[in-house]
Structures are given as C-alpha cells and as structure tokens.
Structure 1
Amino acid sequence: MLKNILIVGGGSAGWITANLLNHFIQRFELPCQITLVESPDIPTIGVGEATVPSIRRTMSLIGIAEGDLMASSEATFKCLIRFENWNDGQSYDHPFDRRHRTQTDPLAEAWTAQNGKDFDRTFSVLTNLADHNIAPKSPQTPQYLANFPYAYHLDAIKMALRLAEFGRSKGILHKRANITEANVSPEGLIESVETDQGETLSADLFVDCTGFRSVLMGGALGVGVKDYSKYLLCDRAVTMRVPYEVHKPERIVTYTRSIARDHGWQWDINLHTRRGLGYVYSSQFLSDDEAEASLRKFEGPHTDGLSAGRLKFASIQRKQAWKGNCVAIGLSAGFLEPLESSGLYMIEFAAQMLGNTLIDYINAPAAAQRNFNRNMDDLYEEVMGFINLHYVTSTRRDTEFWRAATSQEAIWDGLQDKLEIWRNRSPIDYDFHGSQRLFALDSFEFVLHGMKWVNPPPRGNYALPDHSELLAQCRQKLPTHEQFLELLIRSASQAR
C-alpha cells in the first residue's frame, strides 16, 4: 500500500507537487498522507516567472481561486513571447493562440519568407491584441477560462508561499528541517531521511524537490545526468528586479520580451509592482562581471542602486527521473535554459503524471517507473530541441557566441534532417509525434516563419484571414491589461 509520501524540498517544485498529489490522492480515495520537509536555511531560486497555459489547469486541479493566485503572486497575463533581434533588426511573436484548422492549412503550408508578410500577425489574434495591450479575458469571465489561451507572469517565490499556506489548509504536513542523511537499503531503496531536528522520516515514496543539489536522486542514489550543453550553450544568468517606483514602463504588457544579445539573450517580464530582467549567457564568451555590466547598460542608469543576482546552471537531465521509490521533480531532475518558459511546465507535467500514476505504482511499480521515465525522456528531448531551434535558425554571425550557437555542430541530431526539409516547405503534423506535446506544429510554424527559415518559391494565391471584426469586438468588450489588474487588486483588497 501507499500510505506515506515524503516530499523533500519546497519552493515551486515542492509545493506544486504536494498540492497536485494531494488532489489525486483525494480523487483516487487513497489513504495516504503527504508530508513536505524543507530547509529553513536554503533560499528558493526565484526563477520561473513566466508560465505557459497549462498553469491554469494545474491551479484549477489544485483548487486555488484564480483571483487569489494572481493577487498573491503579483501575476499578470502572458499571451505570447516577443522575440527581438534573433535575426538582426527583426522581431516576431510566438503566441498561445492557434490558427483555424483546416481552413488555413493551404495558406500556412504554402507560406514562404519571400511573400514579405508577417506570419504571426496574419494568423494570431493574440499578437494583434498585444499590440493594443488588451487583456485576454474580462473580470466577469469564469476563473481559468477565456476565449483566448493565456498564462501568467508571476513571482514564483510568492506563488510557492501561497501554495504552502493552501496546502497546509488541505492537510499536507509541513516540516522545516535540513536533511542530514538519507538511508539507502542494499536494494537501492530509500528507507528514511534524517534531519537536523533529530527526526527520522520514512515513507513509501520519496519525491526529490531539492533543486540543483538533488540530495536524494543525485546524491543518495547516485543517478547521473545527460548533458545538453553541446546544443544549449548558455549556462549563466544575471537577474535584476526593477520596482516601478524606480522605473515604470509605459504599459504593463501581456508578453515576455526575449531580446537576443551579443552573448545570449535577455528576458523582460512585467509584474504588478516591478519588472523582472535576466541576461542569459554563455560563460565561454562572457564573464559574470561583464554580463552584469551589460545588463545595467542595456536597462539604463536607474539600475545603479539595484542589486543583481547571479545564477549558474547546466542544461542537463537526470538519466532516470524515477528510481526505486524516489522520483525527482523540478531542478533535481534537470534543467533546460528558460528561453520558452518551460521550467514550471516541466514541474506541472511530472507532478500530474506522478499523480495519475499512483495507482499504477501500487499495482505494477516497475512498469509505472519505466513508463514515467520514458515520458520524461520524451519531454526533455522535445523541449531541448525546440529551444535549440531558436538558435540554429538565426542568421546572426556577429559575435563568437552566435557563430558557435549557429554552427553545424550545435544542431541537435533530431533537428538535422527536419531543418533541411523545412527550408523548402512548412512543417506539417506528420513531422511530430506524441499526444502531450507542449511544442507541436503551431509553435514550430511561428518560430520557423518568424525566423524566415522556410523559403521555397511562392505558390498559390490564398486569401489571408480577416481578424478585423473580431479585433473590433475585443477592443470594445475586453479591458486593457492595466484595467483588469486594477480591478483585480481592488477585489483582493476588499476580500482582505
């Protein structure tokens, strides 16, 4: 039987996992207690401020109200990523909405860089709404629902704190202690962990959410990693928070800015009261001090009194996400650079898959583990390949970094043949496999056509979609982003 699950580590990974598992335990009517133990001394890594639309389903499953989530984590809407200068002087969007199938298939399949048109503005309503800073929903729309797909920009640390409160109210046991020892049986199973509070904690299933330290999976069980640094060169980030009282942009926009820089790229994210900035770069070509100086210079003199954080990472994956009676979720399972906001999604995916697998684990533990590991392998390759796509399709060759990032050696094996094919035609459904893909045909279309990669001779004379009537209705019926946030903050204040 599965009577006790011990999650080691808090933060976003720990508390999303704990709350989701609590949901599935109740759904399956399992007599199981979830306990989460986290260190009071190790700070949470405050990355993962941008999400993808799956976050809405995750939070709905957990059961927290959308207004509560947004107010407590300073969340704003995210409808797309706007990529700037990935080809020098050009920009394009990767939005969350999808073109109408099958009506637009002939036009999309015949698309070429030679037609001189913008693929995103042709097919995406959200791209056009973002230009006018229109919210994707009205305050009257039911929580987590809307006519357009959306996600959030949020403060991941504040989100984790709110989820901790919520989880405790739903019966999750919470302990604050440092793990001093993990006791492993001769068969390779974790029997218990010991804490600096003198406790020995045992469980039927352990979940490692200890971040890059990977105390259980990497430490106690010695599971090695796959290294993707050949394909993803960036391994550092310098970050900064810019409060609006220091400098406020003209608008709180509904998109993440991803700005290509000389030695990597920079994110720019708007929350309720501040912006979050980060320069992601390769330490092969830029020092930490140079990166921070470059971030400050790019942002402007108002950064002089602001502190900057520095983060070292590697794009890696544990060779097994589940070994014996231990599952790694979050940074303890691996990390891929944050270009497409996949960090929190990979936590959601793993935690929901684990929750759905609990009955399988009881009935067929070895098969459940193998299936889980196969699915995580597929996910990492999918996300890694999609991130790699952004670099290797760039025409930039202006720095040593960009020459290395676009070299033949940097192209992931799974993209080599496809890129050659896609030079002469748009991607099609049969180029992809898997029913649970985060990045499928539509995502590849927006990036490949945004990067002007697909370049066959023009053919056909197809009518372009006309969004004008829908856009006029949206501008009439939907609030601006700032108006929605003002109503949200007012409602949260009244609720307190």
Structure 2
Amino acid sequence: MVQSVLIVGGGSAGWITANLLNAHCRRTGRDTRIVLVESPDIPTIGVGEATVPTIRRTLNDIGLPEQDFLESTEATFKTLIRFKDWNLGETYDHPFDRRPRPQSDTAAIAWSAQNGLPFDRHFSVLTQLADFNTAPKSPRHPQYQASFPYAYHLDAIKLAARLSSFGQANGIEYRLGNVVDVIVSPEGLIAGVKTDRGDDLTANLYIDCTGFRSVLLGGALDVPVRSFEKHLLCDRAVTMRVPYDVYRPERILTYTKATAREAGWQWDINLQSRRGIGYVYSSQFLDETAAEAALRQYEGAHSDELEARHIRFASGKREVSWKGNCVAVGLSDGFLEPLESSGLYLIEFAGLAIANMLADFESAPQATMRYYNRITNDLYDEILGFLNLHYVISNRRDTAFWRAATSDEVIVDDLRDRLELWKHRGPGQFDFPGADRLFARDSYEFILHGMRYVKGATHSRASIPDLSQVVMKARAELPDHEAFLSLVERAAEARKLS
C-alpha cells in the first residue's frame, strides 16, 4: 500500500503535484500521508509565466477558487501566442480556438490554397478578439468556465506560495530542510532522505521535484538524460521583470508575444502589476553580455536599472521518469524550452497521472512504471516535434543561428515525413496518433498556415467561415481585459475590508 508519499522540493512542480495527490486522495477516500520537504536556501527558477488551457482543470481539481487564484498569482488571461518575425516581417497567431466546430477538412484545405488569407483570422474568434483586448470570459461565467477556451499568464513563484498555504491548510505536511543524504537500498530503491534539520524522512513513494539538480532520480538512482539539444538549439535565457510603475504599456494584453530574434526568440508577458520579458537564445551564437544588451535595447532606457537574471538549461529528459519507488516531476525529469508554455503542463500531466496510478502501483508496480514511462516519454517526444516545427519551417536564413536552426539535420525524425506531405496539403486527421495530445491538429494548422508552409491547388472561398457575427456578439457580451482585472482587484479589496 502507498500509505505515505514524500515530495522532495517545492516550487510549482512540488506544490502542484502535492495538491493534485492530496485532492485525489481526499476524493477517493485514500488514507495517504503526503509530506513535502523544501529547501529554505535554494531559489525557485519561477520563470514559467504562461500556461495552456489545462491549467483550469488542474486548479479546479485541486479546489482552489478561480477568484482566489487570480488575486494571489497576479494572473491575467491568455488566449493565444502572437508570433512575430519567425518568417521575417510577418506575424501570425496560435490561438486556443479553432472554428468551425467540428473541424472541416474542406475548409482547411480550401484555405491552404488561397493567396493572402490569414488562417488565424478566418478560423479563430480569439485572434480577432485579441485585437480589441477582449477578455475571454465575463464575471457571470462559473469559475474556470467560459464561452471560449483560455489559459493564464501568472507569477509562478506566487502560484507555488499560494498552493503551499492552500495545501497545508488541507492536510499536506510541510518540512523545511536541505537534503544532505539520500539512502538507497541494496535493491536500488530509495530508503530514506536526511536533511540538515535532523529529519530522517521515509515513504512508500518518493517524488523528485528538485529541479535541474534531480537529487533523487538523477543523483541517487543515476538515471541518465536523453538529450534533445540536436533539435532545440536554445540553451540560455536572460529574463527581466518590468513593474508598471517603471513602465506601463498601453494595454495589458490577453496574449503572449513571441518575437524571433537573431539568435533565438523573445517572450513578452503581461501580468497585473508588471511584465515579464525574456530572451531565449543559443550560446553557440550569442554570449550572455550580448543577450542582456539585446533585451535591454528591446525594452528601452527605462530598463537600465532593472535586474536581469541569466538562466542556463539543457533540452532533454531522463531516460525513465519512474524508477523503483521514485518518480521525477518537472525539471528533475526533463525540460524542452519555454516556447509554447509546456513546462507547467508537464507538471500538471505528471501530477494527475501519478495520482490516478497510485492504486495501479500497489497492485502491479512494474506494469505501472513501464506504462507511465512510456506515456511520459511519448509526451515529451510529441512536444519536442511541435517545438522543432516552429524553427525548421521558418524561411529565415539571415543569421548563423537561423541557418543552423533550419538545417536538415535539426529536423526531428518523426516530423520529417509529415513535413514532406504538408508541403502539398494541410495536416489531416491521421497525422496525429494518440488520443491525449497537448498539441494536435489544430495547433499544427495554425503554425503551418501561419508560416505559409502549405502549398496547394486553388479552391473556392466558399468554405471559409464568416465569423463576424460571433465576434460582434462576443464583443458585446464580454468585458475589456483591463475592466475584468479591475473587478478582480476591487473584489480583493472588498474582501480585505470585510
């Protein structure tokens, strides 16, 4: 029986996992003790500020009210990513909605042959609403529900802090301490964890959330990393927080900006009281000093006194995520890169899967481990191919980075044949095996058509949907993004006064 779970490490990975496990055990009547031990000295990376729509299900499963979440994490809405200069001089969107529903193959194929009709503006309502900065929901909608799919921009450090207090209030045991020793049994299982506070912590199942250090799975159990660096060249980021009292943009946007740069790309994300910006780049083509200078030049003179933070990462994944009685979640298992906001999703996926496999692990541990490792490896490979797509189909050859990032040897093998097919037709229903994908046909359509990769014969425009009435109705019924955020702020102030 899994009577106890020890989660080593906090941050987003530790606290999302702990709360998902705790909520599952409470719902199913499992009497499982959940303990989280966190270092007081090691800072969280905490740069992941964008999410995908599954975060709503995760927070709802945990039981954190949406208003509470919006207030405590400085969250704003995210409805799409707006890509600029991935083809030089061009802009396109990857929104969360795809019209019409159900998908029309005829419409997609018809569009792909048209000249000058942007796919996003003809097949997404959210792309058009983003131009008006319309919120995807109104205060009348139930929590975590709306007429349109949406996610959030958030402060990941504040998310971890709120989930920490929420989890402890709901029975998760909390310890502070640095891990000084991991005991491994002769059978290759974790037998206990010692901290510098004198704690000897034991459990039936150990979850490694120690970030890139991977103290349990990578360190104690010596599980090697499978590198993705051949396919994803970026391995550095320089980030900055820009408070609105230093510089406030004209609008708090409902989308992430992803702008291609000479040696990578740059994000720009709007929260309630600040923006988060970051330049993701390849150290083969740019050094830290030049990357920081480029970020400050982009932001302007008001950034001169702001602190810049440099982060090193490697794209890759542990060969297995679950070995013996230890599972790695988040950065301790693997990392791709910040593009398309998959980092928090991988934590959500792992936490939910582990919670639902506790009973399986008790009855058939080896089969459970093999199955979990297979689906997790498949998920990483799926996301790897999608991220790789953004680079390899670019028409940019203007810098050494882009010549390398678009070279034939960088293409993921699983993507190669499909790219050959997609030159002549749009992606079809049989191009994406697997039921539970993060990025499926809709997402590929927006990237492929947005970057003008698909060619084909001329078709009639009759298949292109007219979304004007839907857009008009949504604009009449939904508030402006800043107006919605003002309501959140007023509700928070009223609660403090009551």
Q: Considering the TM-score relative to the shorter chain, is it more than 0.5? A: yes
- State the partner residue of 2:435: 435
Structure-2 separation of matches of 1:383 and 1:47? 19
Contact 1:110 1:425 in 2 (8 A): no
- State the partner residue of 2:283: 283
Contact 2:94 2:446 in 1 (8 A): yes
Q: Which amino acid aligns with 1:315?
A: S
Per-residue CA deviations over 1:203-244 (Å, capped at 9, x if unaligned) read 000000000000000000000010000000000000000000
Structure-2 separation of matches of 1:42 and 1:125? 43
- In the alignment, is residue 80 of structure 1 matched against residue 66 of structure 2? no
Contact 1:82 1:93 in 2 (8 A): yes
Q: Specify every segment of 5 or more residues in structure 1 that has no aligned partner in the other structure, as ranges.
A: none
Q: Which amino acid aligns with 1:327?
A: V
| Superposed displacement of residue 26, structure 1 | 1.6
Q: Specify every segment of 5 or more residues in structure 2 that has no aligned partner in the other structure, as ranges.
A: none
- State the partner residue of 1:474: 474
- State the partner residue of 1:343: 343
- State the partner residue of 2:120: 120
Residue pairs, 1:164-203, within 5 angstroms: 164-203=164-203
Tell me how many residue pairs correspond in the alignment. 496
Structure-1 separation of matches of 2:461 and 2:339? 35
- State the partner residue of 1:70: 70
Per-residue CA deviations over 1:259-300 (Å, capped at 9, x if unaligned) read 000000000000000000000000000000100001001111
Contact 1:113 1:449 in 2 (8 A): no
Contact 1:106 1:462 in 2 (8 A): no
- State the partner residue of 2:307: 307
| Superposed displacement of residue 103, structure 1 | 6.2
| Superposed displacement of residue 339, structure 1 | 0.5
- State the partner residue of 1:384: 384
- State the partner residue of 2:214: 214
Q: Which amino acid aligns with 2:91?
A: S
Structure-2 separation of matches of 1:103 and 1:324? 43
Structure-2 separation of matches of 1:65 and 1:288? 41
| Superposed displacement of residue 408, structure 1 | 0.1
Matched residue SS, 2:111: coil
Structure-1 separation of matches of 2:70 and 2:147? 19
- State the partner residue of 1:234: 234
| Superposed displacement of residue 28, structure 1 | 2.4
Per-residue CA deviations over 1:285-319 (Å, capped at 9, x if unaligned) read 00001000010011111101101000000001000
Structure-2 separation of matches of 1:80 and 1:461? 25
Matched residue SS, 1:23: helix
Matched residue SS, 2:134: coil
Structure-2 separation of matches of 1:188 and 1:25? 27
Matched residue SS, 1:488: helix
Q: Which amino acid aligns with 2:382?
A: E
Segment of structure 1 superposing worse, 455-464 or 436-445: 455-464
Contact 2:119 2:446 in 1 (8 A): yes
- State the partner residue of 2:9: 9
| Superposed displacement of residue 27, structure 1 | 2.3
| Superposed displacement of residue 258, structure 1 | 0.1
Structure-2 separation of matches of 1:110 and 1:478? 31
Structure-1 separation of matches of 2:404 and 2:382? 22
- State the partner residue of 1:425: 425
Structure-1 separation of matches of 2:118 and 2:220? 52
Structure-2 separation of matches of 1:429 and 1:178? 49
Structure-1 separation of matches of 2:52 and 2:135? 16
- In the alignment, is residue 48 of structure 1 matched against residue 48 of structure 2? yes
Per-residue CA deviations over 1:99-122 (Å, capped at 9, x if unaligned) read 224463201023326521000000
- In the alignment, is residue 406 of structure 1 matched against residue 412 of structure 2? no
| Superposed displacement of residue 461, structure 1 | 4.1
- State the partner residue of 2:35: 35
- TM-score, normalised via structure 1 length: 0.99
| Superposed displacement of residue 495, structure 1 | 1.4
Matched residue SS, 2:462: coil
- State the partner residue of 1:160: 160
Contact 2:114 2:459 in 1 (8 A): no
| Superposed displacement of residue 463, structure 1 | 3.5
- TM-score, normalised via structure 2 length: 0.99
- State the partner residue of 2:141: 141
The percentage of aligned residue pairs carrying the same residue is 61
Contact 1:110 1:426 in 2 (8 A): no
Contact 1:111 1:426 in 2 (8 A): no
Q: Which amino acid aligns with 1:267?
A: W
| Superposed displacement of residue 474, structure 1 | 1.4
Structure-2 separation of matches of 1:102 and 1:272? 35
Matched residue SS, 1:230: coil
- State the partner residue of 1:21: 21
Structure-2 separation of matches of 1:351 and 1:495? 32
- State the partner residue of 1:459: 459
| Superposed displacement of residue 429, structure 1 | 1.1
Q: Which amino acid aligns with 1:201?
A: L
Structure-2 separation of matches of 1:472 and 1:109? 26
Structure-2 separation of matches of 1:205 and 1:469? 54
- State the partner residue of 2:223: 223
Per-residue CA deviations over 1:160-203 (Å, capped at 9, x if unaligned) read 00000000000000000000000001111000000101111000
Q: Which amino acid aligns with 2:492?
A: A
Matched residue SS, 1:206: strand
Aligned alpha-carbon RMSD (Å): 0.9
Matched residue SS, 2:341: coil
Structure-2 separation of matches of 1:325 and 1:102? 43
Structure 1 residues 461 and 251 mapped into 2: Cα distance closer, same or farther (>3 Å)? closer
Structure-2 separation of matches of 1:224 and 1:293? 35
Per-residue CA deviations over 1:322-345 (Å, capped at 9, x if unaligned) read 000000000000001010000000
